[in-house]
Each structure stands twice: as structure tokens, then as C-alpha cells.
Amino acid sequence: MWRIVKAGSRDAENSAEWDEIGLRLGQIEQAIEKIAASAVPETSQGQGDFVTREELKSGLAAAESRIEKSVDAKFEVQSLSIGALKAMVSQTDALLERVLVALEAGLDETEQDEIVERDSLLNELSISSE
């Protein structure tokens, strides 16, 4: 509580005023303490802002566990995606090979030479344009 020291005043009115100011300051101090107590939650051990080693360890372990599960799930999704891409590439290669075989079988040598020549010209044009 607040103590108000009277500075040489023996007057009854001044004394009553100082007592009232002291009382009001005490009420304000109690209100501030209530607000401060409600603003700072206490830990399970009731130590206010302090955290014990056990609480820190358990908090870090829980966070590590969540992160590890998240990373594992992402790796699993990536693994499935890579498998699907490999299957698509092999199917595309097989299809391309069948198309090339069909084209080669259906064309005579002159047509094949024309295609090879066109491909070479296109390659030269694309190289020179870069």
C-alpha cells in the first residue's frame, strides 16, 4: 500500500485529502495487479513467465514430431509422383517407338531420305536462330 507522508500540514482538511489520495492510489495499485495477473498466464508449475527444462523438452519434442510427420508425408507424395512420371515416360517411349516403326515400314527409301533432310534443315535453322 501507499503511504503518504504529510509535509508539515496539521490542518484536518489537508489530512483528509491526503488520506483520500492514498486510498485511491491503493485502489489503482490493486487494479493494476489484477490486470497484470490476468495478462500473464501461469505455467503448470505456477512459475509465471518461467519454463522448466521438462516443459521445454516436451514442447520441442512435440514440434519435432509434427515436422517429421509433415516431411514424411511430403516425401511419400513426391515418391508417388516420381513413380507416376517414370511410368508415363516409359509409355511415351514405347508409343514413340511403335510410331517410328510404323512410319519406317510405310515409307520407301526416298521418302525417308526427304524426312531426314528436312529434320537436318530444321535443326540447322533452330541452331542458327539461337
pLDDT, averaged in runs of 10, over the chain (130 residues)? 49 74 89 78 57 89 92 94 92 86 72 73 67
Which 8-state DSSP code applies to residue 46?
A: S
Say what the pLDDT of residue 75 is: 94
**What are residue 34's phi and psi, to 5 degrees?**
-65, -45
Say what the pLDDT of residue 16 is: 78
Show me where the domains of the chain are located: 1-41, 52-130
Say what the pLDDT of residue 38 is: 74
